[in-house]
Amino acid sequence: METSIQQMKELAEKLNRASRAYYQEDREIMSNQEYDALYDRLLEMEKETGTVLANSPTINVGYEALESLPKEAHESPMLSLDKTKERETLREFVGTHPTLLSWKLDGLTIVLTYENGELQKAVTRGNGVVGEVITNNARVFRNIPLRIAYRGRLVLRGEAIITYSDFEKINATIEDVDAKYKNPRNLCSGSVRQLNNEITARRNVRFYAFALVSAEGVDMHNSRACQFQWLKEQGFDVVEHRMVTAETLDDAMDYFANAVGTNDFPSDGLVALYDDIAYGDSLGSTAKFPRNSLAFKWADEMRETHLLEIEWSPSRTGLINPVAVFEPVELEGSTVSRASVHNVSIVRELELGIGDTIQVYKANMIIPQIAENLTRSGNLTIPDTCPVCGHEARVIKENEVECLYCMNPDCVAKKIKAFTLFVSRDAMNIDGLSEATLEKFIARGFIHNFGDIFEIGKYRDEIITMDGFGEKSFENLLASLEKARETTLPRLIYSLGIANIGLSNAKVICKYFDYDLDRIRHADEEEVSSIDGIGPVIAKNLVEYFSKEENIQKLEHLLRHVHIRKEDVNGEQIFAGMTFVITGSVAHFANRGEAKSFIESLGGKVTGSVTKKTNYLINNDTASNSSKNKKAKELGIPILSEEDFLKLAGRQDV
């Protein structure tokens, strides 16, 4: 059974890879015949095993937006684990009892419930007593089975995580440095708790089971290892584990210690769990911890060094971040000489001073941090001027945390970072304006606000004599500016650099307000924070931005230079609530991606698989025997040529 599940995972991944290449990248990595054969084989195996994986191309989970995440009490409280950093303490815990040693994954704990072979419910750990129901999102996790062979009631626990590689890919798409995610755990927590599970699906969240709570009528032979094996046979990925005793503990510990530095998944230690279920349960628990398990936290590799200076680094929002610079030390196999101190509160709590002897380590073996200040001279002076512009810098306390801000709205550092965001690909998409070029233009007084960029032509004679510029470069810049004048409202809102508002948030806000800029400008915090996926922090930042007269003046100046394309939001949404699948080559569109965008602009949705929820299959070869055509015919779904589709859309001039 386990071998079959593994084969199904490999088949699903291969088919999905081919589908992504075909639909999103306009290239083929396998023939239709090979795809159909693999697809049919996967269908057979799903019938044989009674298991359907969440990422199987044979199903279409569908996306859904919720108003809120309901809360629900757990059937039994989820206790925390007692922990140690000492190997000998762990050995003493193991004693003579066979014990499962596994990774302690650093993500979000989820409880899954299955009834009659179907995923019924998914709930976050929450506070251990009450969690949030995220069933809608769990259905689009990369690797959980939506259907399993077992037909009784199953309850299990596991960790939802995002791998380091996916974390890096997601952060790489965010051009605004201030908006990047801090670590995989924070990204995972936000992804799992989205109100729109289409966002969750894009984040590649994975689930690893670490505990079976109950499975009615199944003999687990009084063994946790047997439970893990049974869960594997049902199609679950189970956290990697090894059986140990006190005598074999060292070999397993050495294995985990060597692997932690190269793993693609985040973990912050190990978990030891007695294999004997009855014995472990008989031990009961304290008020806080179960007695059948113990967490082992890696003893951080600590080095002493001396603090050389604190760099104060301004951001586009005016926040000036303290960064500790110290004598270089070797930590976890690399040389480290800098660490973020995050805010003024931490600077003061550590009583930092130049020359102090400090202890540094890598949190979770990755992020350099100051653990302790051994000498605590406290001689560091918090600057009262911005290190870039020289104007007033002020410590402001919000939510009990003190941070340093530059109070000069015309600070060059703010401007450079703000302008860099403004011209970036996802904002106004202006080629030819690198950060270095922007810095030169600002220094020469060519640009003071966003609208000035579109008036750069009046400085032509000076610019073409600058290093790196000439007639050709200048003409290319003017052409790029001309192209950028035509934009969309979400891009415009994002380009303004309002704190915490990325392009995706801007799209959500614009859609809610029917792409009406005046409504957005005059909205209050209560209304904005009521939008799905938009919380009170974003609402506050948006409303505060538009409440400032200087921002309104700059916006008005910018609006004189750009044209905002109107979005089809009312009468043109003729495909609202309809789902399409596109297959084969297209002739009236540049590629399938353009056809997909056209459908979405009219309110429709495009998916990759034909299901009973599909309204139309678009295929210029309407008579072909492809798997999608076969499926559509079985379900009675109309197959349209492009000509037929364009007639349906009332557009024959695309």
Catalytic residues: 104
Distance, in Å, from the CA atom of 423 to the CA atom of 447, rounded to the nearest integer, reads 13
Residue 371 dihedral angles phi and psi, to the nearest 5°: -85, -40
SS3 256: helix
The residue among 286, 291, 257, 261 whose CA lies nearest residue 274 is 291
The residues facing 155 across adjacent strands are 113, 214
State how far the Cα of 379 lies from the Cα of 66, in Å rounded to an integer. 52
- The total number of residues shown for the chain amounts to 654
Which among 271, 240, 215, 322 is positioned nearest to 84, based on CA atoms?
271
Nearest to 616 by CA among 584, 588, 575: 575
Angle at 253 between CA 251 and CA 257, to 5 degrees: 120
CA distances from 158 to 161, 167, 243, 260, 594 (A): 10, 20, 19, 19, 40
Burial of 179 (0-12, 13-18, 19+ CB in 10 A): middle
**Are the CB atoms for 492 and 485 separated by under 8 Å?**
no
Residues forming beta bridges with residue 53, ordered by sequence position: 145
Question: CB neighbours of 329 closer than 8 A, spacing ≥ 6?
Answer: 303, 304, 305, 335, 336, 337, 360
Closest by CA position to 237, among listed 329, 166, 142:
142
Q: With beta carbons less than 8 A apart as the criterion, state whether 333 and 301 touch.
A: no
Which two structure tokens, joined as six digits, stand for 360?
Answer: 């540094």
**Which one, of 572, 626, 617, 567, lies nearest residue 592 by Cα?**
617
Q: Which of 304, 271, 299, 298 is nearest to 93 (CA)?
A: 271
Residue pair 559/492 in contact (Cβ under 8 Å)? The answer is no
SS3 string of 374-440?
A: CCCCCCCCCCCECCCCCCEEEEEEECCEEEEEECCCCCHHHHHHHHHHHCCCCCCCCCCCCHHHHHH
Residue 270 DSSP symbol: E
Query: What whole-number distance in Å separates Cα of residue 490 and Cα of residue 514?
Result: 11
In this structure, the dihedral spanned by the alpha carbons of residues 515, 579, 141 and 537, taken in order and rounded to 10 degrees, is: 10
Asked whether the beta carbons of 431 and 437 are under 8 A apart, the reply is no
Token pair of 22, please? Answer: 């075909």
Which residues make Cβ contacts (< 8 Å) with residue 95, sequence separation at least 6? 246
d(CA 553, CA 548): 9
Using CB atoms within 10 A of its CB, is residue 527 exposed (0-12), middle (13-18) or buried (19+)? middle
